[in-house]
Structure 1
Amino acid sequence: MTGQPIRILIANVNTTASMTETIRAQAAAYASPGTEVIGLTPAFGAESVEGNFESYLAAVAVMDAVVRYDGPYDAVIQAGYGEHGREGLQELLDVPVVDITEAAAQMAMLVGRSYSVVTTLDRAVPQIEDRLKLAGLLDRCASVRASGLSVLELEKDPDRAVEAIVEQALTAVEGDRAEVICLGCGGMAGLDRRIKEATGVPVVDGVAAAVTLAESLVRLGLTTSKVRTYATPRPKVITGWPITRAGENS
């Protein structure tokens, strides 16, 4: 793939189209010249994903949005922090799939011994911890802290969001001995530089981290292993399943 244009789909987990565009723009800003980033908004689901019910719903909605996309692509990014569904996408697709939660943690561990995540509401903390544990990335996580702001509040008032995130980030650095901060929500895309200036430590935005990892996987010619865990689903009748591939009748 060296030298070939890359096309990456980045799927928002919620149905707020303006947030999809913010996420897409952040990914595009960090993508290499010639890489095309296409944002996808699910056709159904919650306007913001904050909890397990909405997360499981989003997992199906994101799979639906991706398989309905009628065009070529080289990689997929799931832009939800701590959300479910990445494994399902890996079964359905042959191209690399990158989750922003895991991408942020993996990047953070390359530049510091420990990292902390600053997310939205406190109810998201256990879900993020579970996602990191499942991915084998929790051991070097110093803490997961809540800013107290909802996902939609991040978009509505970025200045207030920065203030709340910085407060928790400084507590993580000074109290939890974190050396790197991960922004724990796709809706925080684009705030990384302001948080870094205020805290003085490396700050990893999962969207930016995911697009650079996705590009690397494509250029290395690496795809998801299909020999066992992420083997393509066996053909069978699934009654009422909402996912329809592009070009098929729903």
Structure 2
Amino acid sequence: MRIAVTNCNTTPAMTEQIVRGARSAAGPGTLITGHTPDWGPESAEGWLDSYLSAAAVLDLLRRLDGPVDAVVMAGFGEHGREGARELLDVPVVDITEAAAHLACLLGRRFGVVTTLDRTTGQIQDSLHTAGVGQNCAAVVGTGLSVLDLDEDSDRTTSAFVAAGRRAMAAGAEVLVLGCAGMTGLERGVSAALGTPVVDGVGAAVRLAESLVSLGLTTSRVGGYAKPLPKHRTWHPPGAG
């Protein structure tokens, strides 16, 4: 089984980190390939970045090399998953949706701990669109930017634990890592807070494997019907 994992930004080091997390979660025989958009934002933190990222990732997905069995979109709260489901004939699993669905199996309400406060509204909207917003007790920012996450692991963990406590005070029984760049923090934070912590990358990989194994893919009845045939001008290769 081959699963393509797409970063939502143009930072290769983050793609490498996401791929490490995806491979550690994948079952035997699953090949994980990592993909970085060749244009778009270096980190996605806000509406503008998210829409740019969505277009760049869709451009990347239409040009994937070789066949894949499923796609994991590793942008937490970023746009594009619905377009990718129209575009591709294989299952598309978004880490936001995957993490939330698994969290709903572990407790009545979950909380998301993310990067900057400015992204919380966007994540809330994404959860609402996915049909799991009503189970979210809180989306809490750590005050760290996406590119800050790797600079000091102790600071990142401390910030996550503090934000996690705030989410739990708001009623969360399960926590979700609200950024693909947080992959790897789940065990330490879970131990510190005494509650389950779900990593979206691992959740998405496992759900993608399940869909492929069950022979299931996106419905073409209604909202995810194939795009209408028409001329579309994509971002020219090499353009700034």
TM-score normalised by the chain length of structure 2:
0.97
Matched residue type, 2:147: L
Distance 1:165 1:80 in 2: 18
Give 2:221's match in structure 1, choosing from 219, 227, 230: 227
Q: Equivalent residue for 2:32?
A: 37
1:156 CA drift (Å): 1.7
Counterpart of 2:72 (choices 69, 77, 96) is 77
Query: Which amino acid in the other structure matches residue 210 of structure 1?
Result: A
| Partner SS, residue 155 of structure 1 | coil
Q: Which residue among 19, 30, 51 is the counterpart of 1:56?
A: 51
> Are 1:65 and 2:79 counterparts?
no
Of 105, 114, 117, the match for 1:119? 114
Q: Which amino acid aligns with 1:241?
A: W
Which among 167, 172, 175 is matched to residue 172 of structure 1?
Answer: 167
Match of 2:41 in 1: 46
In structure 2, the partner of 1:17 is: 12
SS of 2:112's equivalent?
A: strand
Please give the per-residue CA displacement for 1:129-182, whole angstroms capped at 9, x wherever unaligned.
000011110111010000000000002222211100000101222x11211000
Question: Which residue in the other structure is 2:148 paired with?
Answer: 153
Give the total of aligned pairs: 237
Does structure 1 residue 215 correspond to structure 2 residue 209? Answer: yes
Contact 1:64 1:243 in 2 (8 A): no
Partner of 1:3: none
In the TM superposition, residue 227 of structure 1 has moved relative to its aligned partner by 1.6
CA distance in 1, matches of 2:111, 2:20: 25
Question: Secondary structure of 1:43's partner?
Answer: coil
Report what 1:201 is aligned to.
Answer: 195
Letter paired with 1:235: P
Identity %: 57
Task: Give the deviation of 1:243 after TM superposition.
Answer: 7.7
In the alignment, does 2:130 pair up with 1:135?
yes
Residue 241 of structure 1 is matched in structure 2 by 234
2:72 aligned counterpart, secondary structure? strand
TM-score, normalised on structure 1? 0.93
* Runs of at least 5 residues in structure 1 that lack an aligned partner in the other structure: 1-5, 245-250
AA of the residue aligned to 1:161: T
Change (3 A) 1:21 1:99: same
- After superposition, the C-alpha distances for 1:1-53 in whole angstroms (9 at most, x for unaligned) are xxxxx100000000000100100110110100110010000000111000111
User: Which consecutive residues of structure 2, in runs of 5 or more, have no partner in the other structure?
Assistant: none
